[in-house]
């Protein structure tokens, strides 16, 4: 049985964890040779990164059917595929292909040990089709197991990380990726180490992030690094060479070099994680200083110490700093205000503040950005496993990059998300508030409330004249 090359086609498609396109073509060529024919490049149809179950239209598959349909009836020829599951994973596709081949008299050969599908032998083709669907399910399990195995081995996963450069080695003959490895990006690693030391010395993450932005330091996404991102960068177990899988340390000797000393890293993590600890190197300010206003003249109240015993906390008062119109015991006012705040948490007004904050906050934009980033990581992962080639990856990235940039812009447009939103979003708002460190409690109260102290009308030892204190939600937060 012989065919002229022009009558021989090959269809190649990548699948998750499957054989490369070059490998599939080599097998098809071998098969063609066995049938006394060969395949010309113009007759090869390749679909890269088209998982048959993902519902993405396989363009070259459609082109193949079109080509077959354009042939005269009973034209004759040979269609080769590496495995039948490369041809179709959907019985509808199979029917269309078989119909086109039938009409044009083209014989379909898959095979390499499998059932060979030929005209008039459709039953095995349909059985293979059903098996192919089962295999998609198995693939998910296989991929999951493989990820766990890579984690145990300390292999890197996902995109290149801030602090390292990733390198690849290709087989010069086949173009196949042989291995990848990471080296320290000393510029970024130095920046991170210095950020950790600066934060431990008392500098805020916000100020460090601002400094980085001024130095034009860019994250892997090409954008400036926010305070929140800086915090995440510092907290990464990756910094000390630990590979994490599902939130657990899978391997303490990962296959990438550590960029931070373990003791420095654990210190900075402790500082960031211990929310009750006030930021170091900064004098602890009274809870309400700068927040409480004088009910008489409207000036800001500051802490003063009354009398001779300057260390006694009981002598500290919030006092109108302009004209000394009013003053109130720090201990008593703090306690009373904290009680008011806790009561306020369960009011409709608190719900309203949250609802208004959500109105202009980017929960949806953030979800969208996270979705796109996950998609990008998936492509990177596929490239890493050679499920797609550099070209397919490049195409996918070209489509994704502008979407990610747009989503990032949308998120940063609402990065002015007020910090109190986190507390108000918590299931137990009071508990979330009490968990805040001193600095954040101060900020929470300052951002939300209007507190004014008037002239005391009721005096006496241990008496706190609450009638003369006005506690209210800031009006600007309630205006929509």
Which of 25, 17, 23 minimizes the C-alpha distance to 49?
Answer: 17
Q: How far is the CB of 321 from Zn ion (least distance, A)?
A: 8
Q: Which two tokens stand for residue 456?
A: 């005391």
Q: How far is the CB of 297 from Zn ion (least distance, A)?
A: 3
Q: How far is the CB of 236 from Zn ion (least distance, A)?
A: 49
Q: How far is the CB of 367 from Zn ion (least distance, A)?
A: 47
Place of tokens 């080509």: 67
Instruction: Choose between 383 and 451: whose C-beta lies nearer to Zn ion.
Output: 451
Instruction: Choose between 299 and 432: whose C-beta lies nearer to Zn ion.
Output: 299
Instruction: Choose between 177 and 302: whose C-beta lies nearer to Zn ion.
Output: 302
Which of 28, 47, 48 minimizes the C-alpha distance to 38?
Answer: 28
Length of the chain: 480
Span from 204-212, 317-325, 420-428, 438-446 in contact with Zn ion (CB under 5 A): 317-325
Residues 268-297 that bind Zn ion (CB under 5 A): 294, 296-297
How far apart are alpha carbons 424 and 94 in whole angstroms? 55
How far apart are alpha carbons 127 and 419 in whole angstroms? 59
Q: Which two tokens stand for residue 318?
A: 């919030």
Q: How far is the CB of 449 from Zn ion (least distance, A)?
A: 19
Other C-beta atoms within 10 Å of 241: how many? 18
Radius of gyration of the chain (CA): 33
**Sheet with 469-473: strands ordered across:** 293-294, 449-453, 469-473
Instruction: Choose between 286 and 294: whose C-beta lies nearer to Zn ion.
Output: 294
Q: Are 31 and 65 in contact (CB under 8 A)?
A: no
Q: How far is the CB of 286 from Zn ion (least distance, A)?
A: 17
Instruction: Choose between 312 and 455: whose C-beta lies nearer to Zn ion.
Output: 455
Secondary structure of residue 82 in the 3-state scheme: coil
How far apart are alpha carbons 443 and 418 in whole angstroms? 10
Which of 386, 8, 357, 316 minimizes the C-alpha distance to 169?
Answer: 386
How far apart are alpha carbons 284 and 311 in whole angstroms? 14
Instruction: Choose between 292 and 372: whose C-beta lies nearer to Zn ion.
Output: 292
Q: How far is the CB of 324 from Zn ion (least distance, A)?
A: 7
Instruction: Choose between 244 and 296: whose C-beta lies nearer to Zn ion.
Output: 296
Q: How far is the CB of 475 from Zn ion (least distance, A)?
A: 20
DSSP 8-state code for residue 106: E
Instruction: Choose between 209 and 294: whose C-beta lies nearer to Zn ion.
Output: 294
Mask 400-439, x = binds Zn ion (CB under 5 A)?
A: ----------------------------------------
Instruction: Choose between 296 and 410: whose C-beta lies nearer to Zn ion.
Output: 296
Place of tokens 């040779």: 33
80, 108, 151, 320: which one binds Zn ion (CB under 5 A): 320
Q: How far is the CB of 469 from Zn ion (least distance, A)?
A: 14
Instruction: Choose between 299 and 400: whose C-beta lies nearer to Zn ion.
Output: 299
Q: How far is the CB of 320 from Zn ion (least distance, A)?
A: 3
Q: Which two tokens stand for residue 180?
A: 């990848």
Instruction: Choose between 280 and 323: whose C-beta lies nearer to Zn ion.
Output: 323
Q: Output helix, strand, coil percentages for the chain, rounded to the nearest 5.
A: 50, 15, 35
26, 235, 264, 299: which one binds Zn ion (CB under 5 A): 299
Span from 6-14, 171-179, 312-320, 361-369 in contact with Zn ion (CB under 5 A): 312-320
Site size toward Zn ion (CB under 5 A) is: 7
Query: Residue 245 contacts by C-beta under 8 Å, 6 or more apart in sequence?
Result: 147, 148, 151, 152
Mask 325-344, x = binds Zn ion (CB under 5 A)?
A: x-------------------
Q: Where are the alpha helices (DSSP H) in 274-362?
A: 330-344, 348-359
Residues 69-128 that bind Zn ion (CB under 5 A): none
Reported as half-sphere exposure (CB side, CA atoms, 13 A), residue 295 has a value of: 17
Q: Which two tokens stand for residue 260?
A: 């931070």
Q: How far is the CB of 314 from Zn ion (least distance, A)?
A: 23
Provide the binding-site residues for Zn ion, judged by CB under 5 A.
Answer: 294, 296-297, 299, 320, 323, 325
């Amino acid at each position: 049985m012989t065919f002229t090359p022009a009558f021989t086609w090959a269809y190649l498609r990548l699948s998750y964890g499957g054989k490369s396109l070059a490998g599939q073509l080599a097998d098809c060529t071998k098969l063609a040779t066995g049938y006394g024919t060969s395949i010309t490049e113009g007759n090869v149809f390749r679909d890269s990164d088209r998982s048959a179950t993902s519902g993405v239209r396989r363009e070259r598959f459609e082109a193949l059917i079109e080509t077959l349909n354009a042939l005269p009836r009973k034209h004759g020829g040979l269609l080769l595929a590496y495995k039948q599951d490369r041809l179709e994973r959907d019985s509808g596709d199979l029917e269309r292909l078989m119909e086109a081949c039938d009409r044009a008299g083209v014989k379909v050969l898959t095979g390499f040990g499998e059932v060979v599908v030929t005209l008039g032998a459709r039953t095995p083709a349909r059985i293979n089709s059903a098996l192919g669907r089962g295999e998609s399910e198995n693939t998910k399990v296989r991929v999951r197991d493989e990820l766990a195995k890579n984690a145990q081995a300390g292999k890197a996963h996902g995109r290149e990380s801030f602090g390292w450069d990733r390198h690849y080695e290709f087989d010069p003959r086949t173009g196949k990726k042989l291995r990848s490895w990471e080296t320290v990006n000393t510029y970024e690693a130095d920046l991170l180490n210095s950020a950790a030391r600066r934060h431990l010395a008392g500098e805020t993450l916000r100020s460090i992030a601002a400094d980085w932005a001024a130095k034009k330091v860019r994250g892997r996404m090409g954008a400036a690094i926010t305070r929140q991102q800086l915090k995440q960068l510092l907290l990464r177990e990756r910094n000390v060479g630990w590979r994490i899988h599902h939130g657990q340390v899978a391997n303490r000797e990962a296959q990438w070099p550590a960029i931070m000393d373990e003791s420095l890293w654990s210190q900075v993590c402790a500082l960031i994680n211990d929310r009750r600890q006030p930021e170091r190197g900064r004098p602890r300010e009274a809870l309400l200083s700068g927040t409480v206003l004088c009910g008489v003249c409207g000036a800001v109240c500051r802490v003063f110490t009354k009398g001779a015993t300057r260390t006694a906390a009981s002598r500290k008062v919030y006092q109108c700093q302009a004209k000394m119109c009013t003053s109130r015991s720090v201990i008593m006012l703090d306690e009373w205000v904290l009680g008011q705040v806790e009561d306020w948490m369960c009011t409709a007004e608190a719900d309203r503040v949250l609802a208004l904050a959500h109105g202009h906050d980017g929960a949806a934009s953030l979800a969208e950005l996270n979705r796109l980033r996950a998609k990008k990581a998936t492509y990177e992962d596929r490239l890493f496993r050679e499920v797609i080639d550099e070209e397919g990856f490049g195409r996918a990235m070209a489509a994704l990059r502008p979407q990610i940039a747009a989503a990032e812009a949308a998120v940063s447009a609402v990065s002015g998300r007020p910090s109190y939103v986190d507390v108000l979003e918590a299931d137990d708002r009071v508990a979330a508030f009490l968990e805040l460190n001193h600095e954040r409690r101060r900020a929470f109260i300052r951002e939300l409330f209007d507190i004014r102290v008037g002239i005391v009308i009721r005096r006496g030892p241990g008496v706190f004249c609450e009638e003369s204190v006005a506690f209210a939600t800031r009006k600007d937060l309630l205006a929509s």
